[in-house]
Structure 1
Amino acid sequence: MFNAQYFRTYITLVETGSFTRTARRLDMTQPGVSQHIRKLEVYLGKSLLQRQGRSFTLTDAGRRAYDYALKLFAEHEQFRHGLDDDSLDSGECRIASPGSVGIMFYPYILGQQQMQPNLTVNYSFAFNHEIANDLLNGRYDVGIVTEAIKHPELKCSVWHHEPLCLVVPADFTGSTLSELMGLGFINYYDGINHATTLLKINYPEEFRSMSYFRHQGFTNQVSMVLDAVARGLGFTVVSRLVLETSPWQRQVKELKLTSSVDEVLYLLQRDGATLPKRYEKLLSGFRNQRTQERPPSIPVTV
């Protein structure tokens, strides 16, 4: 007979790697854990573990059972929390975004949770393609991505615009493209695309490609890229969200340009799914706050 608790025990065992730790986490006895695993193996008709003394490895069937169990419980949670879709201030939200968005959106969400104790938010930082895959697998209900994603099972719509900022060391006195080329470029996940878009529109006669720039390094953590700029290693182009939350604000400055360019943020969700109202309150509240706020001046140390 199907028993969801057996699968829950099995997930915990795989994640902890120990019968003892599983029993402690689930408030069970160790023999009780072993009994759940044996009954699950009988139910599936397959051995899930290859035991080696007190340790174990997963069989091929065991790995497949673990993947299935994760998907099973993700779909269950999505169904359970989707039933309570009328409350604005209670229930669970499952959201993912790249770090460039989350560094300001997540603190906003935490503030909302402080005011609404019955609101629970599980927030993940991930790359665009990871968010799309996890939405399809039921791990999130909403993703915010920095590029449009086309998939027959996903709905992608424009959510918000954030200005792009060309950020240089605080003591940089240049303004021409050649001076920027001499300074060098600090890259990150979206760096090349953002820089190309912004520089192309502001230096239309001179700019050709980012391949002509001296590349001074790369980091996959956008929150850290301004550390390199602050040290005088080069310039970069980031969303204002990143600049406003950077601990290196006093060591960098935004180079003022003639034409502004916005980064477009997209809302990603499963096609045909209706989001509970609590999602709309969070998403529209943050977007309205960002739209109404005037960007603060960035202090500079000369």
Structure 2
Amino acid sequence: MINPVWLRSFCVLVEEGHFTRTADRLHMTQSGVSQQVRKLEEYLGVALLDRQGKQFTLTDAGGCLYKEAQEIVQALSDLAEKVAADPTYEGNVRLMSPGSVGLKIYPKLLALQKRHPGLAIDYRFAPNSDVERYMVEYNADIGLMTRPSSLPEVNSRPMASEELLLVTPFMNNAPDWQELLTLGYIGHPDGHHHASLLLGANYSQFLNVSMFAQRGFSNQISLILEPVSMGLGFTVLPAHAVRAFHHPKLISAHRLENPVNETLYLITRRHRNLPARMNMLVGEIRRWL
């Protein structure tokens, strides 16, 4: 493989037409420039210059090499700039979060991407366990979880909090324990976690979600409240998901006597220095939440 440093020195020499000016431009000695050109000739097995004292002309081989080498040297220069560049509003970002917070921030992310077309945002809604797994497997850059990660490869820190709400078919007052038992439960991927936090803090009879008859289950955040709105059961969801429901008059969101706020954690791969576009996105998400 041709040494790219030799190629660059040769191209500059052709452009300057003089060993002294070339040495000055490359911050080298004249003998250093001459030595690199000779090494290039030895490697290729052809003469590149017809030397006349301190002057020279290009041989046919030298002219051919210069024509081809210009693009190579420029491409290598561009590559170095691209690798070193760290633009704030360009590049890909892979983001994952539970669906509730996603319903709140995804429209804002799309608006940000529209303002900065160089950004490409891959956003996936997923339960905590999947967000954590994708992070460990290097398939996500930034994650949001409703609990801190327990894995040594993952760094997590509190970012915001989100209120949990008991959601029932439309009724005026918060249901008592017996009404919840009668209604039954509509499950979702983070449902056991949410219900345990909120119901455990407000109903002394509560032990676990299995105490309720399960009337349905959905892993689509936008569909979890559909069966609730039809009177098929109750559930517990973060406030962002409740506010996004498109039939709000068919449900009741209850703030119970003992409010519970769920902490949202930012998770990243431990010891990874995030590029500028990802730090920008983290800052925007923090502001939105």
- Please confirm whether the aligned pair reaches a TM-score higher than 0.5, indicating the same fold: yes
Q: CA deviation at 1:215?
A: 1.8
Matches within 5 A, 1:86-97: 87-97=87-97
Alignment correspondent of 1:108:
108
Rounded to whole Å, the distance in 2 between the matches of 1:163 and 1:134 is: 26
Do 1:186 and 1:236's aligned partners in 2 also have CA atoms closer than 8 Å?
yes
Matched-pair contact (CA < 8 Å) for 1:167–1:238: yes
In 2, Cα distance between the equivalents of 1:173 and 1:159? 32
Listed as ranges, the gaps of 5+ residues in structure 1 are 1-79, 291-302
Match of 2:169 in 1: 169
Query: Normalization by structure 1: what TM-score?
Result: 0.63
Distance 1:212 1:153, change over 3 A: closer
The one-letter amino acid paired with 1:287 is: R
Q: What corresponds to 1:275 in structure 2?
A: 274
| Aligned equivalent of 2:226 | 227
In 2, Cα distance between equivalents of 1:255 and 1:245: 15
Query: Residue by residue, what CA displacement relative to the aligned partner does 1:103-158 show, whole Å, maximum 9, x if unpaired?
Result: 22221100111222222212223333333332233222112122222222221222
**Secondary structure, aligned partner of 1:221:** coil
The alpha-carbon distance between structure 1 residues 250 and 81, as it changes in their structure 2 partners (threshold 3 A), is: farther
- Greater radius of gyration (CA): 2
- SS of equivalent residue, structure 1 residue 189: coil
Shift of 1:174: 5.3
Q: How does 1:1-302 map to 2 (within 5 A)?
A: 84-85=85-86, 87-171=87-171, 173=173, 175-203=175-203, 205-290=204-289
**Counterpart for residue 300 of structure 1:** none
**Which deviates more, 274-283 or 155-164?**
274-283
Corresponding letter in the other structure for 1:288:
R
Counting aligned pairs with the same residue, the percent is: 33
Q: Secondary structure at the match of 1:260?
A: coil
Give the Cα separation in 2 of the matches to 1:88 and 1:246.
Answer: 34
Contact 2:163 2:261 in 1 (8 A): yes
Distance 2:230 2:85 in 1: 50
- Give the letter aligned to residue 214 of structure 1: A
CA RMSD of aligned residues (A): 2.4
Give unpaired runs (5+ residues) of structure 2.
Answer: 1-80
User: Does structure 2 conserve the Cα–Cα contact (< 8 Å) formed by 1:81 and 1:91?
Assistant: no
Return the alpha-carbon distance in structure 2 between the equivalents of residues 230 and 81 of structure 1. 52
**More deviation in 184-193 or 112-121?**
112-121
| CA spacing shift, 1:236–1:125, aligned 2, 3 Å | same
Rounded to whole Å, the distance in 2 between the matches of 1:132 and 1:181 is 33
What is the CA–CA distance in structure 1 between the aligned matches of 2:276 and 2:123, rounded to whole Å? Answer: 17
